[in-house]
Each structure stands twice: as C-alpha cells, then as structure tokens.
Amino acid sequence: MHVRTTKFLCVALAFLVFLWAGSVAAQERGASHGIVSEAASGPPSAYLEHFGVGLAPPVYLVNFLLLYFSNPENAAYMPAYRAELPQEVNECLQDPQTSYGCPYDTIEKYFDEQAFDSGGSRNKNSFWPSDCQTDPRWQRLAPRKYRHSDQINEPLGKRKSEQLARLLGIDDDMILTDEEYQCLITPASDEQDPIRDIINSCINYLTNSNGNADPPLSSYGLYMNDEGDVRSLCAPDAPCLEFNKLFLGPLEVIADRCGFLEKLIRLTIETPLPQFIKDGNRCQNAWEPSCIFDASPGNAGQ
C-alpha cells in the first residue's frame, strides 16, 4: 500500500511541477515577445473600467484556494467585492516611467473620493475580457462589483469563505494543521529566507482588506510595498508574481519537509485549481506588465 501511495504522489507531483513550469515559461515568452491583449485595441480607455488582474475570476480563485488550503483565517480577509480603479490611479499605474507603481500619498485622494461617493458603482457587473474568463460555473464565484461605498475593501468573512471553499471542493482534511502552516511560513533558521519572504509578503498583500491592513486596497487588486508605492498584485517583480516560480520545486520541497505534500497534491487533483492556473496565466500574460485589465461596463458578468 505504501509503495502504491508513493508512486501516486510522484506521478501527481510531476504533473503539478509540469503545470506550473508551463505557466512560468509562458509568462517569460509573453514578456519577451510583447504580448498585448486584443482588448487593448478596443474602446478608448475613458469608456472602460480598469481592475487589478488579481480580481479576475481565475486569478482570484487560484489565490483563494491556496490561502484557504494553508490557513482559512487568511482567506477570510480576501476581498468580498471588487472596485474599478479611479481613472487617475489607472493612468499612473500604467506608466512604465514609474515601474508601474505610484506613491500612495499622491493617489490616496482619488480612493477617498471614490469611497465618499454615496452613489456606489453605476453597474452591477462588467463584461470580463475574454482572456480573463474561466468556466462560467466558477466565474460567478468571483467578487461582484460593490454597490455601496462601504463595501469597498470589505473582507469575505468566515462564513462566505467557508461556503466558497466547499463549492470549490476543499474539505477539512485538505487544510493544513497549525503546525504545518507555521512550518510553511517560518524560516528554518535566523538567516534570511527569500522563499518564506515571498510567501509571507504575498499572503499579506492578498489579504489587505478592512481590519487587516492600513491602507486597505484589496478591492482594487493592489498592494502597497515597503517604499510606500502602490502597485498591482502581479506587476513586475511583485511578490505574488514571484510566488509562481516557487512551484518549480521550492514549494514542493517545503511541503514534503513540513509533511503536507499529499494535501498539496489533493488540492491540485480534487479542485479546479489546474484550470484556474491555466486561465489565470493567460489573463496575466495578456495584461502585463502593469497587470491591470480593462472591462466594458455593463450589467452582466460575461
């Protein structure tokens, strides 16, 4: 029985590494060939809504699955709603001269103006660009647009995150124990651990909602780095973008050493994670390097 289980884990692990290797390779090819989304040649920017790619359905759901699997309390702080970027913020974040980041102090007022707007979002949903869609049965689970300004940066909460996890196929036996989670995020020694730094930073940036971050930026798919610059979650060299590369081996090594490799493989086999990785990679490639996508305003999610 042990031999059969070991063979199964080896085959599944090989599939997992192959999947992520293809994802990272596609990102590198996209960067070198200057992939541009077809939507970028569509309507003028003033007629579009702009969102951080972290809010696109497949990318959001990849991140949710990984967070809930590792620690449900973290997943509960992912955004419950999405908000379009203020036009001035979008223009600033699209500027390569600033490395696709803007000092929070200079753009804070635009977020404040949006939050003080009692009218809320004009449209219930948006028309997702084709390169940022996934299977419709899962796509509907991504955050809907805020309707009232007090919903901006609101976290999912425990009840909603539990419901979402069950719909996506996670069961209690798949979730890391406290000991396994601490092993995942804690350096093995006092020396600098760049892998753990990436993991911890990405967790913090994915959960920067009200009550868990200052300033909260989760509904925008943005984060603020240590220098005080606001960027998209998957802008060049962002920790959550660098996290992709951990699946080429480092994360599996950690999982094996910490005793949760089988749980990681179950997550890959028993949830739609592989589909979300494939679709999310396509979305990131299409909207690099700023990692902000354009959506047409409307009252439908497709």
Q: How many residues does the chain have?
A: 302
Q: How confident is the model at residue 298 (pLDDT cuts 50, 70, 90)?
A: low
CA distance 267 to 252: 13
CA distance 258 to 50: 40
CA distance 20 to 24: 6
CA distance 146 to 130: 22
Q: Are 80 and 154 in contact (CB under 8 A)?
A: yes
pLDDT of residue 247: 76
pLDDT of residue 241: 93
261-275 per-position pLDDT tens digit: 999 999 999 999 999
CA distance 75 to 63: 9
E-strand ranges in 112-219 read: 125-127, 144-145
At residue 293, the 3 state secondary structure works out as strand
pLDDT at 207 over 60: yes
Q: Which two tokens stand for residue 208?
A: 């920067």
pLDDT at 14 over 70: no
- Work out the burial of residue 94: count CB atoms within 10 Å of its CB; fewer than 13 is exposed, 13-18 middle, 19 or more buried: middle
Q: Which residue, 284, 67, 261, 90, is CA-closest to 156? A: 67
Q: How confident is the model at residue 108 (pLDDT cuts 50, 70, 90)?
A: very high
Domains of the chain, residue spans? 2-298
Count Cα atoms within 13 angstroms, Cβ side, for 205. Answer: 28
Q: Which two tokens stand for residue 134?
A: 């996934």
**To which residue do tokens 């031999």 refer?**
3
Across residues 264-289, what is the average pLDDT?
95
**To which residue do tokens 């709603």 refer?**
81
54-98 per-position pLDDT tens digit: 999 999 999 999 999 999 999 999 999 999 999 999 999 999 998
Q: Which two tokens stand for residue 258?
A: 């910490």
pLDDT at 12 over 70: no
Phi-psi region of 167 (alpha: psi -120 to 50; beta: other; left: phi over 0): alpha
Across residues 23-46, what is the average pLDDT?
41
The span from the first CA to the last CA of the chain, in angstroms, equals 47
160-183 per-position pLDDT tens digit: 999 999 999 999 999 999 999 999
* Helix axes 261-270 and 57-70, enclosed angle (nearest 10): 150
CA distance 191 to 29: 34
pLDDT at 116 over 90: no
At residue 295, the 3 state secondary structure works out as strand
CA distance 100 to 98: 5
